[in-house]
Amino acid sequence: MSAFRHYFLLFVGAFIVQNIVFIRFIGLCPFFGVSTQVETSIGMSLAVTFVMTLASAASWIVWNYALVPLGVGEFLYIPVFILVIASLVQFVEMFIRKVSPPLYKAMGIYLPLITTNCAVLATATEVSKPGFLKLNMPYGYSFIEGVVYSVSVAMGFGLAIVIMAAIRDRMKVSPVPEWLKGYPIVFIVAALASLAFMGFAGLFGM
Amino acid sequence: MDYLVVFKAAGLVGGLSFLMGSILALASIKLKIEVNPLVEKVLSVLPGSNCGACGKPGCEGAAEAIVAGEASYDACRAGGPEVAEAVARVLGIEAKVEENRVAPVLHCGLNRKEVAKKGFYNGVYDCLIAEQQTKGDLLCLYGCLGYGSCQKACPFNAITMDENNLPVFDLKKCTRCGVCVSTCPRGLIRFVPENARLVIKCSSKDRGKEVLSVCKKGCIACGICVKACSDGLSLVENIVVIDYEKNPDCPRGVEKCPTKCLLPYKA
């Protein structure tokens, strides 16, 4: 398998076939909470991409160079990853605020929201800890693979949340029955979108 | 049991926490940002509904502009004189109180049961979209579409739709922010002075015969009211225009108006 094909399959698998929101049902709280407007959802997905990539890289390093050599990874990985991710996000928030105020305005308000987001933690754990969730990489990821994989997962999250925001924008002017207004209709729409995404199963033999 | 693992775990978590904590502590000193405390003080007295009537991106943008001197202390239109006074107090300047209250009025008085329709509108329940797509279901091109875009747009819930699907303004909740004025695709909601004595409940610029063929409540530009009291009333483009500078009162014109579209007003 050529390197390009390998990384392409990794990308498509995380982006669409195993979409983190629609297929794996991880990260549902920001998915429902922030998908009210297309603009804010784009900002949110940018922030998630950023944090998820950094968090995965950081936890990969911590897993391979601290947890495994000490032999405490099996029971200590969740607290350590949360610690690493939370402080990393805090630091990045301060750094962006100082260095680039426009970027901070675009995604700064979402950064604290995703500090210990389940999607970020799940992806970081999956990338670092071999065999976690037992998906298509049971032997564990190399560092580059992990970064590519977490960018793809985050883009899949962005895809889901932007689709949802666009549908909800359109629904604002639709005659929704009174008893379905608000979250009930959003849940139904999300379920239908999830069913649609399940149609991708088996793409490229995955 | 291997007790060493306990120390390893404690050491790892403790060490990592200490490392991260020191980095964050260092960063909070090195990367400190001066936030103008005045902006936060101004923001705290603004209404905080982010209606955007001042033309700034939300109340935070307005607060920044006021402190930077790009906007006047009374930039908040929704807050009115009370908020302007509070902002002036925060900034330490003297507020000039201007009493020039206005009230929104729908310049249309159609009756949905009588008005002529061209068909049944089955599209999106929204005035802006109806106006773009089919111009609604009314034959009158100037009448209220009745799909309640102004009600949805109002940030203060001051608008309700009556049984005739016309907006009714709750002047106690209304802050005169003007969002409904700019929302109405037909420009039917306009401000009149609160002490106005007359309003014209029609906006049709069609000629009298055409108005009568589609709506029994429209202004047919007969000019009877203008003849009765010429001071302050005039006919422009087939509609009566009231000059609120002169603030006319015209009981005879109201009485004689054949379609009863010129009405006395009381805020």
> What ipTM was reported for this prediction?
0.73
Q: Chain B: give the shortest CA distance to residue A26, in Å.
A: 27
Q: Convert the pLDDT of each residue in A61-92 to its tens digit.
A: 998 888 888 888 888 888 899 888 888 888 88
A2 found inside a domain: no
Per-residue pLDDT for B94 more than 80?
no
Please tell me the total count of domains within chain B. Answer: 2
Q: Give the pLDDT band (50/70/90) at residue B5.
A: confident
Nearest chain B residue to A67 by CA: give it: B12
Share of chain B above pLDDT 70, in %: 96
In-domain check, residue A3:
no
Residue A188: pLDDT band (50, 70, 90) is very high
- Whether A4 shows a pLDDT value over 90: the answer reads no
Rounded to the nearest 10 degrees, what angle do helices B58-68 and B80-91 cross at? 50
Query: In this structure, are B181 and B244 located in the same domain?
Result: yes
Tally of structural domains, chain A? 1
For residue B6, give the chain A residue with the closest CA.
Answer: A72
For residue A175, the chain B residues in CB contact (below 8 A) are 125
**CATH code at B52?**
1.10.15.40
The answer to whether A57 and A142 have CB atoms below 8 angstroms apart is no
pLDDT digits over A8-57, tens only? 888 888 888 888 899 888 888 888 888 888 887 888 888 888 889 999 99
User: DSSP secondary structure string, B18-48?
Assistant: HHHHHHHHHHHHHT-----HHHHHHHHHS--
Res A135 pLDDT > 60: no
Q: How far is B206 from chain A (nearest CA, A)?
A: 31
Among B12, B20, B24, the residue with its CB nearest the CB of A72 is B12
- Report CB contact under 8 Å: B124, A174: yes
Identify whether residues B151 and B229 lie together within a single domain: yes
Please judge whether A98 and B9 are an interchain contact, meaning their C-beta atoms are less than 8 angstroms apart.
no
Same domain? B212 vs B115: yes
**Position A143 pLDDT exceeds 80:** yes
Alpha carbon distance A179, B71 (integer Å): 44
- Answer yes or no: do A173 and B126 touch at CB < 8 A: yes
Q: A–B: how many Cβ contacts below 8 A? A: 52
Residue B148 maps to a domain: yes
Q: Is the pLDDT of residue B174 over 70?
A: yes
Answer yes or no: are the C-beta atoms of B66 and B157 closer than 8 Å: no
In SS3 terms, chain A reads as CCHHHHHHHHHHHHHHHCCCCCCCCCCHHHHHHHCCCHHHHHHHHHHHHHHHHHHHHHHHHHHHHHHHHHCCHHHHHHHHHHHHHHHHHHHHHHHHHHHCHHHHHHHHHHCHHHCCCHHHHHHHHHHHCCCHHHCCCCCCCCHHHHHHHHHHHHHHHHHHHHHHHHHHHHHCCCCCCHHHCCHHHHHHHHHHHHHHHHCCCCHHHC
CA nearest B11 in A: which residue?
A70
Q: Work out the minimum CA distance from A169 to partner chain B, whole angstroms.
A: 13
At residue A195, the pLDDT reads 94
pLDDT band at B166 (very low <50, low <70, confident <90, very high): very high
Quote the pLDDT of residue B18: 93
Q: What is the pLDDT of residues B23-37, one digit of tens each?
A: 889 888 887 777 778
CB contact under 8 A, B20 and A79: no
Mean pLDDT throughout B230-236? Answer: 84
For residue B10, being part of any structural domain is answered with no
Strand, coil or helix: what is B209?
helix
Q: Check whether B213 has a pLDDT greater than 80.
A: yes
Does a structural domain hold residue A12? no
pLDDT category, A187, cuts 50, 70, 90? very high
Residue A190 belongs to some domain of the structure: yes
Spatial separation of the C-alpha atoms in residues A127 and A54, rounded to whole Å: 12
Give me the CATH number covering residue B227: 3.30.70.20
What's the confidence (pLDDT) of residue B100? 64
Interface probe for B, chosen from A59, A68, A72, A89 (most Cβ of B below 10 Å), is: A72
Chain B residue numbers with beta carbons less than 8 Å from the beta carbon of A173 are 124-126, 129
| The pLDDT value given to residue B2 | 77
B99-111 mean pLDDT:
84
B255: CB partners within 8 A, 6+ apart = none
pLDDT, position A134 = 54
What kind and span of H or E run contains B85? Answer: helix B80-91
Cβ neighbours of residue A151 closer than 8 Å, sequence gap 6 or more: A49, A52, A53
Q: What angle do CA B188, B194, B199 make, to 5 degrees?
A: 45
- At A205, the pLDDT band (50, 70, 90 cuts) reads low
Q: Mean pLDDT in chain A?
A: 84
Please state the pTM of the whole predicted model: 0.62
Q: Are residues B65 and B110 in the same domain?
A: no
Q: How far is B16 from chain A (nearest CA, A)?
A: 8
Beta bridge partners of B242: B233
Name which residue leads in pLDDT, A116 or B13: B13
What is the distance between the alpha carbons of residues B83 and B46, in angstroms, rounded to a whole number? 6
Residue B262 · residue B220 · CB < 8 Å: no
Domain containing residue A46 = 21-201
State residue A158's pLDDT score: 93
Q: Which domain holds residue B241?
A: 102-264
pLDDT of residue A98: 79
Is the pLDDT reported for residue B57 higher than 80?
Answer: no
Residues A145-158: pLDDT tens digits? 889 999 999 999 99
For residue B116, what pLDDT band results from cuts at 50, 70 and 90?
A: confident
Closest Cα of chain B to A140: distance in Å? 23
Contact B5 A71 (CB under 8 A): yes
For B61-74, what is the mean pLDDT? 81
Confidence of residue A139 (pLDDT cuts 50, 70, 90): low
Report the interhelical angle of A73-99 vs A38-62 (nearest 10°).
130
* Position A136 pLDDT exceeds 60: no
Instruction: Note whether B78 and B188 are same-domain residues.
Output: no
C-beta atoms of B24 and A91 within 8 A: yes
As a whole number, the mean pLDDT across chain B is 85
Under 8 Å between Cβ of A167 and A35: no
Contact B16 A174 (CB under 8 A): no
Residues B123 and B228 in one domain: yes
pLDDT in tens, A97-109: 777 777 777 666 6
B chain contacts of residue A70, beta-carbon cutoff 8 Å: 8-9, 12
Give the whole-angstrom CA distance, residue B144 versus residue A155.
45
